[in-house]
Structures are given as C-alpha cells and as structure tokens.
Structure 1
Amino acid sequence: MYNPVSTYRFQLNSEFTLSHVDALLPYLQQLGIGTIYGSPIFVSTPQSGHGYDAVDPTRINPEIGTEAQLRTLTDKLHDANMGWFQDIVPNHMAYHPNNHWLMDMLEKGPRSRFAHFFENSQSSLFFRDRIEAPFLPDALDKSIADGALRLNYDYDRLVLQVQGNTLPLKPESYVAVLQAGAGQPNEAVQELATQLDQMHHVEEPEALAEAWAEFQIQFGALMKNEATGAFIRSAIGAVNKSPEALTALATSQHYQFRTEPETRREMNYRRFFTVNGLICLNMREQDVFDAYHAYTKELVDTGVFQGLRVDHVDGLYDPKTYLDRLRNLTGPETYLIVEKILQADEKLPEGWPIEGASGYEFLAMLSNLMTDARSEPAFRDFYAGLIGNDVSVHRQVRDRKAYFLSKYMGGELDNLYEYFLAQNLATETELNSLRIGQLKQTIAEMLVRCPVYRYYGNAMPLPNRDANALHDILAETTAIRPELTDAANLMLNVLLTHPQTADTDYNARALKFYQRLMQFTSPLMAKGVEDTLLYTYNAFIGHNEVGDAPERHGMSPDEFHATMQDRQQHWPLAMNTTSTHDTKRGEDVRARLNVLPDLADEWLSEVRQWLDIVAAENPSEGKYVGIPDANDAYFMLQNMIGAYPMPGEGDDDFENRFGLYMEKALQEAKRHTTGWTVEETYHEGIRRFISRMFDKEGPFWARFTPFHQRVADFGVTNSLVQTVLKCTCPGVPDVYRGAEGWDLSLVDPDNRLPVDFDRRQRDLTALSAQKSVDWAELWQHRFDSRVKLAVLRTLLHLRRDNPTIFADGEYIPLAIEGAYSRHVLAFMRRNDTDCCIAVVPLYVAQLATAQQKTDVLTIDWQDTRIKLPDNAPANWTNPFTGETVTDTLVQSLFSAVPVAVLLSRTS
C-alpha cells in the first residue's frame, strides 16, 4: 500500500497550471512533502476555477497542461521519492455544451449510446418525462419574444441557444427546419432530408451514432456551399422570425426548457446538491463506471497516480459497490480516500476498501480539543440574550433542512413520493387509509430528521445500524408530529418489518426506494446545515465548520486520546486535514477563534461594548436593532477577530475581501434574501456597518486593535498546536496550498485567492540555510508566519525520515502531573524500534491571563511534567533544537517554542 507520508493540495486551473507545480517541486522537497494532492485535472468547463465541473474524464484539461507534462512531472516526483494523489469526481459532470456524452443524449434521446449515462428518466424510473434544460431567463414564450432563445448553426449541427447554453436539435427536427427554407430546396438539401428519414428508423445506438457522424460531416460541408448554405441559413432565419415555429421546435426536443425557479418545485434529473449546472452520473451501471474511469485506470497503471480521492461519495447510489469496483480497478497498492463528512459519534463503514476519509473529522477533533468546554454556558446564554431566542440547535438543524427542502428541493421530494408508490410497497387499502399528504410529509420528515449525511445499507433486511437509525427517525417523527403516526408506521412496516419475511422481489423494490432516499439526505444536510445553519446560528462560530457542528463546544483530552487510538487501529492512513478548498474558514482563523473561550468573560464584555459603539454611531438604528440585526452583527465581529491579518502584516485588502465574504454569507443564510439576492436595503446597511468597523480613526477601531493583537498572539500558539498534532497524530498530514504560512482565509472564493509562493520560498530557503534554527528570532517575529513554517518543515522532515513510527506506531496517551496538568496534552507514538512524543499546551490564553503574562513562553508551568511509561527511553532528541532531553518538565520543553516533539531511536 502506497503511504503518502504527507500531502500538499494544489488548486489547478488556468491561472495555476502543471508548469507552476513543476516550478515549485524544489520548494516542496525542501519543505518535506511526500505527495502532491491535485484538484480535479480532467477537462472541465472553460475557465473553471476548481475542476469539479468536468466535461470529459478521458483527457487532461488543456488549460492546466498536457498528459506529457503530467508524466514528466510525475517522473520527477518519483526520482525524488514523491508521488501524486488525485481528486476524482465520479458523482457528477457539468451540464454544458462541451460535455459530449450529455449532448449526445440530449440530441438522440433513448437511441443515444449515452442515454443511460446520466441520472434521468432514460436511466431510471425514479425520474419522469423529458430531461429539463433549466436555462430559460423567463417563460418560454417571453424568452422567445425577447430573443433570448434562438435557433443557430454550431459546429456541424443545429442548436438552440439560450443564455450562453447551446443544446443540440434532435435529428427528427432537422426536416422541420429545412422545410422553412426560402424557395425550392436543391438536390443536396433533398438528399439530406432523405438521409434524415432513413435515420429515423435506425434503433441501434452504435449504428445511429455512425450514421449521424457521417451526416454531420456532410451537413457541415453543405453549409460551406454557397447555395446550400444560403438555403439552410434562410431556414434558420425563418424559424427565428416565427414564434410559433420556434416554440414548436423548442417543445419537441428530447429535453424541455425550464427556468431556474421552476427547478425548485420540480426536477427530473439528479443534480449535485441543487446546482442545475451539475448533472449526476448513473455510476451504478458497470459500463458507465468503466467509461468514466478508463483514463484514470491508465494513469494509475502507468504510475502517474499513486492515490485517488473520491469526491462526494455520499452522492453515489451504492458507495460500497462503487468502492469495491474502484479497488478492483486500481489494485491493492493504490491509496484510496473518500470525501466523507462524519458527525460527532459517526464512524466510517469498516467494510469499505479504502484508507480512510479526507480529514474533516480530524479538523473537528482538533478544534474541539482546543475549545475549553467550561465556557459553553457563557457563550450560549450571551447569544440567547443577544438575539432574543433560545431555540435548540437540534431544532434549528431540523428547521433549516425543512426550509431548504420546501424551498429548493420540492421536485426531489415529489420524485421520492412517486417512486415509493411506483414500487408497490404498500397495498391500496394501506395507502387509502392515510390522509392526503401524510405519506409525502413523512418522507420529508425522514429526510430532515436524518442525523447524519446518509446511511449505506445495500441489502434488505437492512443492517442493524441503518435499521436502528430509521426506527429512531420515525419515532422522533411521531413524537413531534403525531398526525403522521399512521404513515410513519406504514414506513416502518415497509422498510423494517416486512423485509424480515418478504420475498426477494419485494426486498429488491424496498431497497431501491431506500437507496434513492439516502441519495438525498446528504445534499439536504449539506445545504440545510453547512450552507445555511452555519451562517445563521452564531453562538460560537469556531465550530461552524464542515465536519464540525455548532452544538459542539469542546472535547476532553481523554476523549481525544480514545478517538486517536481508534483512528490508529482502524484508519492509520486517513487524512489529517486542517484547511481545504471547502472549509468555511482557514485553519488559523479557527485556531484564533478558539482563544475566545479561554477569555470568555473578557470577549463577551468587549462584544457588548463594540455593539454599543456601533449603535451610538448610528442612533437611528436604536439600541441594537436594525441593520444588520444582532445575529449578523455578532457573526461579523467574530469573523473580524478571527480573520483580520496578523499585527504588523498589512491589511491584505481585508475590508474589500470582508465585504465580498459578507455578501456570500448573507446569501447562504437566506434570512434577508429574495431568491438568491440579498435585499438591497439590508445589503446597504451591511456595507455601512463594515465601513464603520474599518474607520481607523473611529472609536470601534481604537478598542478592537489591542484586543485583536492579544487574541492573535495567543492564536499563534494554537496554530502551532494544530500543526504539531496534524503531523504526529495517526493519519497523513495534509497541507492546503499556502497554509504552511498563516491561513486567515474565509470561505471560497476567498480561500482560492493566489498564494504568495515567492515569499514562502524565500522564507524556507533562509530557514534551510541555517545550521540550527534561531527559535528566539522566529518567536520574536512570530506574526510573520515563519515560526509556523519552521515547525511544519521540521515535522514533515521527521515524518519523511521516520515513516513507520507514524504509519504503524502505537498511539499511547501520556499522563500529565503537576499544577497545570489540565493545560497540557501529550502522547507517544511507538513501534518496535523508535519512539516519538508530542507535547502541546491547551487553553494558554486562560493560563497566561491568570498569570498576567503577555508572552506564552514566559508562563510559569511550575511542577507540571509528562509522566512516561516505565519502559520509555531515558534520552530523547528535540528535533526543533537538536538538544538532548532527559527531563520532561513542561517548563523546559516549552523554552524555545511553546510546543514540543521528542524522538528516540534505537535502530
């Protein structure tokens, strides 16, 4: 099995290509990186910034580079004992003219070779009617009247174009167009009509594809002929001048035009979440799997890719079967990871043939470890008083999901209801006994009350985990909504009781419904919680993060140790992630926010005064009401303290970035929006609020600056704690592009802005040139990020030089003794020959404030020490300083830098 040792994530696009990666290889080697982790690399929509909108999985995106470049690059990696780990997206592709599989299906309908490649009515009875083309700016008749929808000739075919989207005409429609031409068609045009008529009777997809390809060549040639081309163009013009003809043409295709608002109420293809421009693949079919992965397999087999990360595994119909196929395709040595968001007590299915998840659960554990749980009541009470609302987070999760389902996923709910009926899982008598709407409402409750992203049962009767969860979901439904008791009991019988004795046919039908249901619990969780609740429930936004949860507020060291021991036992090569392209805030924003629970009383007092200042500057808004409301104002203040640049490091265009961030945050919150647009009056109020916050001559800035400097300073230590744990805990440390320096970014697109690699290379070159690191100088100038870079570099080299300790070594919690034992966490990693100890401080702002210290290195740790096992080595080396260590007093361990790692080698 390939061990990545460590990964470095690049976001590849037209602005950052394989050439840029190639130029950075010496830097990555110097940093100690083991494996490059590439964002999706196959052909995507033009100028895609991320690559998750693929149009062709059989070629490298030319905007990024060529296959030859990639192979040359990976040859260099292999020479340096490095590898390439590739992100793939089997769940969906772009609904785009460049997606030739999709265009072929839209053109030929059920006679297309690719008719079953996508999730729509041509591949599953779950969907009904012709696939929607949701690109109209307005109703069809108005779009035609306004000239927004037009017939055109494009690359040897006739197409309908609307708002930058190009959709092919079906072959049968060409005759109607040609008949609209001025004058008598010449012999060539008549021959085209004859060919079209003959093709109408070709049913076999391969034969039709061949005939149509030949027809297109002829059609394109005739368009270049002066007489014939003029005739066809006149026909196109005549259709465009006739609303009736254009309407008839538009409504007779293998697709049907819709507006975006209409897709919120009805939807007949599966989308990625609710993104109309991303259509899901029918990956459960073997030939679809084979076609999509053919090029990936070639790149794995020829040594280009050593590992694959599977994006959005929860979207797949049967993740276990997919992953089994992928493992069989790529072989036992390929490193396989899934993007999977785990809830607090949720575990990955152990039967999956993978190395683990992409690390959001690890991110959440670190963040909770650094949060002092004792501060939770203060934060909750303050927040409830501020907004005048004490509704539980659990209730708000349910409410946000229900809101999103009703507003944006009504079509998906209708499809599930109709599919349930179509599977004949209940008798007419049972269905007729229910009141109108009961069954559909119960299905809705099952979706919104699902406590995790999804379950994975792929056989009836369902496994215990699924069955128990489903029982609890329906019990909660009847407890909260007793009027749905009959429908909930019916669902219990259909999915849990009857399958125990039912025949194979019934269970197959019940499973079809259940697996379809599970495909929609995850997008609802993502959109209702990740992209709504995390912007509306703001008691403490440090845990409003992908993989974490706003109701969480701390984790004890004992809980952390137990989780890490389990991780080492089951998923020793899972990813240890702290920032990604999808995180709501950069890793150092979260690290800084976790200072606030240490200073809870002081922080909440500051917030009260800041709000008073802002209200006083805008008296027409009253005490603290108006725009923004108290909830949004508090959200902004937390983000401001967390993300504002380090003292003395410049503001990095932060006011403008913050304004753009708030615009997106308000859109996601959906509290002051019409559709997807923020109400202008409220938006203007937000802009005024931001302007007042950033008035550097004003009273808010005078109070904010000294408090920000204190919090930022303590945040540096939390960032180093995070770095040490990422590199020494079970798992593979992942560095998001640029996060070897401070990552004070906000949600995308802010976290995808260009990285100043020139500065990072200069800093790393200077560090590498030193015989021994001058930790005193680095700590003195800690706001410039070099101290983080130095800690990370040291640990990445330690891992690279000692891979087996971290891949195979035991995780052994170490006891802490002395006055400040609750403020320290330590553990040992040990294999047969080597040992490594990691020691980090916890809640340092609390301790430093109690001792009236402004510098963490001056904290008096008194007699606090690490208690080592009896059989532990007596002598250790500190890889940060190179010193020999024989005593585990925390005071000496934290003398140079406020984190410690010790190594003992007997081999």
Structure 2
Amino acid sequence: MIPTATYRIQFRNGMTFDRAAALVPYLKRLGISHFYASPIFTATFGSTHGYDVTNANEIDPTIGGREGFERLSIALKDNGLGLILDIVPNHMAASLENPWWRDVVENGEQSRYARYFDINWDRKLTLPFLGDTFEAVIEAGDIAVKKDPKTGKPAFAYYETFYPLSPPTYEGREAELLAITDEADILAIHEEQPYRLMSWRDAPKDLSYRRFFEITGLVGVRVEDPEVFDDTHRLILELVRSGKVDGLRVDHVDGLADPKAYLERLRQEAGPECYITVEKILGEGEQIPTDWPISGTTGYEFIAALSDILVDNNGLSELRQAYHQLTGKPAEMEEELRKAKLLMADNNFAGEVSNLLRLAMEIQTASDSSDEIPEADVKSALRELLVAFPVYRTYGTLDGMPAESRQRLHEVVETVRRGPHAPGEQALTFLSGILSGEGQTSGPSGEFRVRFQQLTGPLMAKSVEDTLFFRHHAALALNEVGSEPLPRLHSLDRFHAEMQTRLERQPDGLSGTSTHDTKRGEDARARLYALSEAPDLWAKAVNRWREMNRASVKILDDGPAPEPEIEWMLYQALVGVWPTDLRHDDAVGLKALEERLTAYVEKSLREAKLRTNWSDVNEAYEGAVLGYARNLLSPQNETFLIDFTDTLRPFLRAGLVNSITQTIVKLTAPGVPDIYQGSEGLDLSLVDPDNRREPDFETLQQQFTETDVLASAQEDEWQTGRLKQQVVAVLLRLRQEVPSLFRKGRYLPLEVSGKREDNVVAFARVDEEDALIVIAPRLVFSALYTGSDETPEDRWAETEVVLPAELSSLRYRDIYTGKAFDPKDRLSVNWAFADHPFALLRAE
C-alpha cells in the first residue's frame, strides 16, 4: 500500500467531497496514486482547516457528510486511487460545539469525558474566552443568566455564547436564577460552577488544560488512555478496515504523551497494510526513532535538504552581510534564538512552565533528600533546559526514558552546564535525574517527564517558526518549516549524504515542497533562492527602491515605520509572490496582489512580536507599514514598479529553472513525492491563509495534455507552469511503471567535471533491473542574466557527468525526448541539455 505519489487536497472553503470527486480523473491522468485529504471530521462552524475537530466520529456535513464521502470513495476506487486521511489525535476544539467538551464544562470532574481531555482537576476548569475579567464583563453588563435557546437550561449568556450551568447549581431554582440581575449574585453563581470564566489575555499564565501550542481554543486529548483512543478512533478505524481509507497522516505526533505507544496501538488496530506517516519536525542530524511502526514523516526535512542544491553558499554569506549592513545590527543568531525561546517560556507558555515548576517542587518535597534546593534555582535550571533543547523532544514515558533519548538529554544537560547561562549545579542535576528516570520514575516524576516533553516541541516551534523566522529576513527562502534557525553550510555533498540517509531511514516517507503549513509556496521559495546568486545586485536594488519610496516611511515615537529590515523583507516577499504574468501597469492585478501581500505583512509583523503582536496591536505602527506596502503596488508608483519588474526578470527566470530542478529531484530522490494542491503548476503562495486558497483547477485541467513530449521550451510554457505540470506527469507515470526503482533502488551521487561543474546536480537511481540518470541545472542566475555574454549553445560546453563502471556500459534513452545516448564513461551535459535544460536518462 506504499503510494507512488500523493496529492493533498484542502477541504472546506468551498471544497467539498463532490467537487473533489470531480477532480479524480484528472489526478489519475497526472499519475497520482493516492488522494491525500485534509481533516474531514466535523469541526467548529466556519472552520477553514478542520483541525479544530468537534466530533471525531462524524464526517463533516459542511463538506458533504458521510454520503458525500462515499461518493468520493467510489470515484477513487473506480479510478484506482487510494485515500490517505489526515487525523488529529492530539487535540480537539475547546468549543461548546464539541459535545464531549460541553459535557465537561457542564458537569466538571463528574463528566464521563472529564479524563478524555488533558485537564488539571486540582483546580477549576479555566475557560479563557472572555474579552475581559469576569468581574469587568459583569460590570459592563455583557453577561447574564439566561435560558440557552438550544437546551432551555440556565446558562451564562455572553453575547451569542451560552455557557451551561452545572445542574446541581440550578435544579429546583431555575426561575430564581433567571431573575438575577445583581452583580454579587451572578458572581456567587459563577463560584458554584466547576469552571471559571476568564479573559483570553490570562490564558498564557493561568490555564488548567493542555492546549495545542498556544491556541486556547484547542484542548489536548489523552489518547494514551485506551478508552479515549477507542472513542476518538472509532470512525477512523472503521474506514480503514472497510478498505475505503488506505493511509493515515498523524498530525503533530510530538504533542502526544507517548508517541511510540500511540503509533504501536494505531498500527495494531489499522493493520500492517495501512500506510502511516507522522507530522514531525526533524532537527539537524535527527532521524525518526527506528522503533516507530510507520513509513516516515510528512517531509519537512526534505524541503530543507533541497536548499543545499539551490542556494549559493558564498553568495548567501554576502547577502547576509548586505542585510546586516542595512540594519546596522549584525545578528548573533544563537543569542537571538535564546531570546525568542525565553520570550516563549516567560510569556506565551508561562503557565506551562509554572505547572512544571510546581511538579518539580512537589517531587523535591516528597523525596528523602535533606538538601532543599531553592525554588528560584529550580526555575532557573528548568528555563535553561527548555531553552537549550535543539529538537522538538525526547521520548521518555511515565516509566523512564529509552537510551537514545537519555543520550540526547545528556547532551542538552552538558550544553547547559558548560554554557554562559549555567544554573546552579544542584538544581540542574535534580531536574536531569527526574527527566532521565534515574531513581523515582512513575508518579509525579513520570508526569513531569511527559509534561516537559510535551512543552519543548511547542516552545521550539513558536520560538523558531513563528517568531525568529519573522524577525530575521536576510534570506526569506530559508525561513521555512523544518529549516534550521542557525546558519549552516549549503553544499551538494550535504544533499547527497542526506538522500542516502533518507533511503536508509525512511524510503517511504513523504517528500514535500509545499504544504498547508509552509511559509511560502515551492515556486516562491525557488525564486528567492536565486537571490543568493546575486547578492550585490539585490542589495543595490533594495537601496534604490528604498530611496524611491522614502516618502512612505513614517517616523513614529518608537522609530521609523517600516524600519530598514522590514523594507528588505517587503521587497523579498514581493519578489517571491509576484505573478509571472503581472505587468507594472495592470491596476486590477496589482490590487489583487495588494490584498494578499497586506494580509501577509500584518501576520509577519505580529508573529515577530517586536513592535506589535496579536494580543497588543500597535495600530499606528501596523498602519504605517501596511501603508508603505500598499504604496509599493499603487499604479501611481510607476517609477518603482517599472524598476522592480525590470530587476525581477532575471530572478524570475532563474527561479523557474530552480522550480523545475526542485520538481525533478523531488520526483526521483528517495521518498514518496507529495504534491500540494495546485503545485503541479506554479505555487507562488505566501503563508497561511494565502497558501490555503483553492487553486485554479479548471485551468490546470485544461492546459494538461497527456503526452511524453514536453511542451515547447519557450519561456511562456515555463511561466504558466505548463512545463512543470508535464514534467510531473511523465515522471509520475515512470514511478508507477517501476515503483521498486524509486522505493528500493540505490541512490548514487554522480561526479560532474568541467566548466560548469558547480552548476549541475547529478545522481542515479539503480536497482538490479533498472537505472535512471538524473541531471538538472543549479545556480544558473549568472548564465541567464541579461548582462551575460554567454550564448545558450555555449552554456553547458566542456561540462561532463562522470559515470561509474556499473553505469558506463549501458545505453540510455531520454524519457522526454526519446533521444538515445551511449555515453560510455562520460556524458556531455551540452548534449544531454540540447532539447531542454535537464535530462532523465533511463537505461535500455
């Protein structure tokens, strides 16, 4: 049941099962083996993504319900496609639309679902959904006791929301309660409830339940409890066992108390044939645990690996220098990462840290040790351990920690111990002992271990992906999910080594380039990689554009808006998102782009958490920056727009080449290629919600022709995405024809020699029966730049791919042109690239 290629569809926002079913014949023609669906279970009203599940055992009626799902299932089976579902075991919606959660709100710890959610029942259930404190809301007259129009029972009415009262607090005196208007009486009734209504602003420091990252509207689910697993997976497993679902994608597996135990149970229940992958961010040098019964991850690490092919390492250093010169403050990224993590630990996740500290002090009190460690010392050590974690988490359980995780923990502890912010040794030793499982294991120590591990992942994600990557803009293409926050070397050797490891460790994992969570679409990223090839040209352009738009900069009390680093970011973002066919004088197109860009800019500024943020909006600052962004795209700003589009042209061309190379590599390297909706054409999207817009499926279907003969290599075929679409289709059909070559075939890096040896990536996939040589261009900006005096005929002259003995004795045929090759021990790149600037040569 291993896919040869998956195609991700985002349901909701107009996408229903019936609309998806109509796309199935096109996906079959494209060469897709498995339809990959975003969450389909009932979610909160108006949900745009489906991760806020309210009923895990009902298919959402808003996208077609069970009947619509059955029609899609039939369409898939009729066309020979499998189905992979995205499931969400870690959390559900903390919404009254969720019947389980509503029952907990109404009945508190007596609810049959009280242990379904990760709630600390040592205190009242916190409901942080008010605009102010409960007292202030009463005083403003915004809350009262009224009948819930849906149930007829007394409830706290807060605008359109009705929070049910616990039955023992109103039974026999409904009329009395409904007549209450006095503030003191309302407060008294509130005190009787098993919950406490509170301001959303207090959630980071005062929450009684585990949430998903820092989203208070998503509550953690205890799937480690067998009963909870059964009740949350009943429909999922029914669909798998019925043969309607062939694979499962597990969302945020690192949020679970015990990922390994969960996956073992899931595998046991779903059976050995079910294809299972997990959403997991892998840090530098990290691999998925070998004892997890899965096929691999969803592929963020593959995105990071591709940058080793397409980024000019030397140029990247110059690009960063130009950025630091502009901002006047060279960034020490290790210190910046520390600042971001401390911000998360001390503010956004302050409540979670406090709970860990409370547990630690309880463990110390219950221990036999005569040496009492001050709480301040324990807190300091706890913060330093959290901040020092280089990966999402270790995998200890209530009973202890496996050897691999213990080694990781030891490395982290030693890093803290030797670092400039080392806490007290006694406190550090105390906490590392709890975490490693030395001495006492279960009970409070086990709970501390699990809670700590469930926090390091969110803290890392929010610090890096949703803070640091929105603060430092030297190279936006590298600010991507799965990428490293600290600068590193980019080289072909690293890429080849990573692919060989990938073949060994997860040959059946997904290889993604765009997802619903990436910061940019794959073709926007491919274009921005090219900036590393022309850092001087780029820096001069930014300086020129800043001068042109100087009048749009506002001087505020806290500094200029936008500041220089934000101007740099705006121009890079605009380069990435600029449609290939948008002219500088297209007022309608510019307006449409402005709407997308300004939404991105607002999110970027708030995620950075520097001069504004989501909870404390700096309207003057945001307004000034958004005004600057709008002015960039104003038809009246003609001088800038002409200069910008002229400067963009060579980057656009180099980006299109990068896009084809990226696509070819994804479809031929180890792993299962995952195509995000619409990205078989050009994907120039920005961060969500922009990347969750529905693509133009009608155009994609109309322009697609089922042929092995590639579209003309004229530039318009590249710019429309038609060439990319055809490259995808031909390679996907090859993957279906010889699946074992791509799943199990060896990955052989090939040496390139000669004049353009640094501008070619080459490798082969080889098994006992087949061989495929892959040759693609890289770092071609200078060759395509209009200032180059090199002719296309000379571009790849004097450059050869060196073939090892096992490949040199074979004849080959280009899978696109049909041209035959008999290269012996060397293959001329100029000859291979005669018809199009890439070659895929299959042994005959």
Give secondary structure in 1 for the equivalent of 2:806. Answer: coil
Contact 1:135 1:162 in 2 (8 A): no
Contact 1:540 1:550 in 2 (8 A): no
The aligned runs of 1:259-658 (5 Å cut-off) are 259-424=199-364, 427=367, 432-434=372-374, 436-458=375-397, 462-478=401-417, 479-496=419-436, 499-500=437-438, 502=439, 506=441, 509-552=444-487, 554-615=489-550, 617-618=551-552, 626-648=560-582, 651=589, 653-658=592-597
Shift of 1:886: 2.7
Q: Equivalents in 2 of 1:820, 1:24: separation in Å?
A: 42
Contact 2:381 2:423 in 1 (8 A): no
1:148 equivalent among 125, 142, 146: 142
Shift of 1:805: 1.1
Shift of 1:688: 2.7
The aligned runs of 1:861-880 (5 Å cut-off) are 861-872=796-807, 874-880=810-816
Contact 2:5 2:673 in 1 (8 A): yes
Q: 1:467 to 1:329 in 2, by over 3 A?
A: same
Give secondary structure in 2 for the equivalent of 1:678. Answer: coil
The percent identity for this pair of structures is: 33
Q: 2:709 aligned with 1:772, yes or no?
A: yes
Residue 198 of structure 1 corresponds to none
Residue 42 of structure 2 corresponds to 43
Residue 185 of structure 1 corresponds to none
Q: Equivalents in 2 of 1:557, 1:368: separation in Å?
A: 6
Residue 121 of structure 1 corresponds to 120
Letter of the aligned partner of 1:356 in structure 2?
G
Shift of 1:155: 2.9
Shift of 1:284: 1.1
Give secondary structure in 2 for the equivalent of 1:121. Answer: coil
Gaps of 5+ in 2: none
Contact 1:317 1:515 in 2 (8 A): yes
Q: 2:763 aligned with 1:827, yes or no?
A: yes
TM-score, with length taken from structure 2: 0.94
Q: 1:146 to 1:852 in 2, by over 3 A?
A: same
Give secondary structure in 2 for the equivalent of 1:166. Answer: strand
Letter of the aligned partner of 1:380 in structure 2?
R
Q: Equivalents in 2 of 1:455, 1:495: separation in Å?
A: 10
1:713-736 per-residue CA deviation (whole Å, 9 max, x = no partner) reads 110000000100110001111111
Letter of the aligned partner of 2:104 in structure 1?
M
2:660 equivalent among 720, 723, 733: 720
Give secondary structure in 1 for the equivalent of 2:561. Answer: coil
The aligned runs of 1:758-837 (5 Å cut-off) are 758-764=698-704, 767-768=705-706, 772-777=709-714, 779-837=715-773
Give secondary structure in 2 for the equivalent of 1:340. Answer: coil
Q: 1:425 to 1:455 in 2, by over 3 A?
A: farther
Residue 852 of structure 1 corresponds to 788
Contact 1:135 1:165 in 2 (8 A): no
Shift of 1:756: 1.0
Shift of 1:883: 2.5
Q: 1:481 to 1:902 in 2, by over 3 A?
A: same
Contact 2:337 2:485 in 1 (8 A): no
The aligned runs of 1:750-761 (5 Å cut-off) are 750-761=690-701
2:617 equivalent among 674, 678, 688: 678
**RMSD of aligned Cα (Å):** 2.3
Shift of 1:762: 0.7
Contact 1:324 1:352 in 2 (8 A): yes
Q: Equivalents in 1 of 2:66, 2:430: separation in Å?
A: 55
Letter of the aligned partner of 1:65 in structure 2?
G
Shift of 1:179: 5.6
Q: Equivalents in 1 of 2:342, 2:561: separation in Å?
A: 27
Q: Equivalents in 2 of 1:161, 1:353: separation in Å?
A: 48
Q: 1:483 to 1:306 in 2, by over 3 A?
A: closer
Shift of 1:677: 4.3
Letter of the aligned partner of 2:161 in structure 1?
N
Shift of 1:11: 0.5
Residue 256 of structure 1 corresponds to 196
Residue 687 of structure 1 corresponds to 626
TM-score, with length taken from structure 1: 0.88
Shift of 1:71: 2.5
Q: Equivalents in 2 of 1:119, 1:402: separation in Å?
A: 25
Q: 1:538 to 1:336 in 2, by over 3 A?
A: same
The size of the alignment, in residue pairs, is 830
Give secondary structure in 2 for the equivalent of 1:833. Answer: coil
Q: 1:137 to 1:598 in 2, by over 3 A?
A: same
Q: 1:893 to 1:176 in 2, by over 3 A?
A: farther
Residue 205 of structure 1 corresponds to none
Gaps of 5+ in 1: 123-127, 181-234
Q: Equivalents in 2 of 1:311, 1:828: separation in Å?
A: 33
Q: Equivalents in 1 of 2:376, 2:60: separation in Å?
A: 48
Residue 219 of structure 1 corresponds to none
Residue 202 of structure 1 corresponds to none
1:21-59 per-residue CA deviation (whole Å, 9 max, x = no partner) reads 111111111111111000000010112110000000101
